Amino acid sequence: MKVAHPRCARGSSPLLAGVALLAGAVASPSSAQSPEPPPLIAQGCIGCHGQAGAGGGTVPKIAGYNRDVFIAQWKAFRDKQRPATIMDRVATGYTDAEVALLADYFSKLK
């Protein structure tokens, strides 16, 4: 006959213990140091600028781009003051708050 530990609920299983261990690992300090996930809105940038803004070919790298310069360049695209193949059209679809969110995210990448 299996005897449960006095602190364990009746009928508890090794599965619950595994879940508890997994939850502890997810909440560990090492996972807190992992880079923040990209905001959903940044997914639109990946099509041209590559994963995590790495760029390639004639498409510039935006990872690590200075936040204020990013915002100024975006405004220039939106105001049709900077020549572009597509960014002048893309830029019009974002609010200032969304552009700031993108600038914050990409400026933190390497």
Average pLDDT of every residue of the chain = 77
Query: What CATH number did the domain enclosing 95 receive?
Result: 1.10.760.10
Look at residue 72 and tell me if it is in a domain: yes
**Could you tell me the residue range of the domain that residue 60 belongs to?**
40-108
pTM to 2 decimal places: 0.66
Residue type, 33: Q
In order of 44, 47, 72, 87, 98, the CA distances from 67 in angstroms are 18, 21, 9, 17, 13
pLDDT number for residue 110: 85
pLDDT in tens, 69-78: 999 999 999 9
d(CA 110, CA 96): 23
Look at residue 69 and tell me if it is in a domain: yes
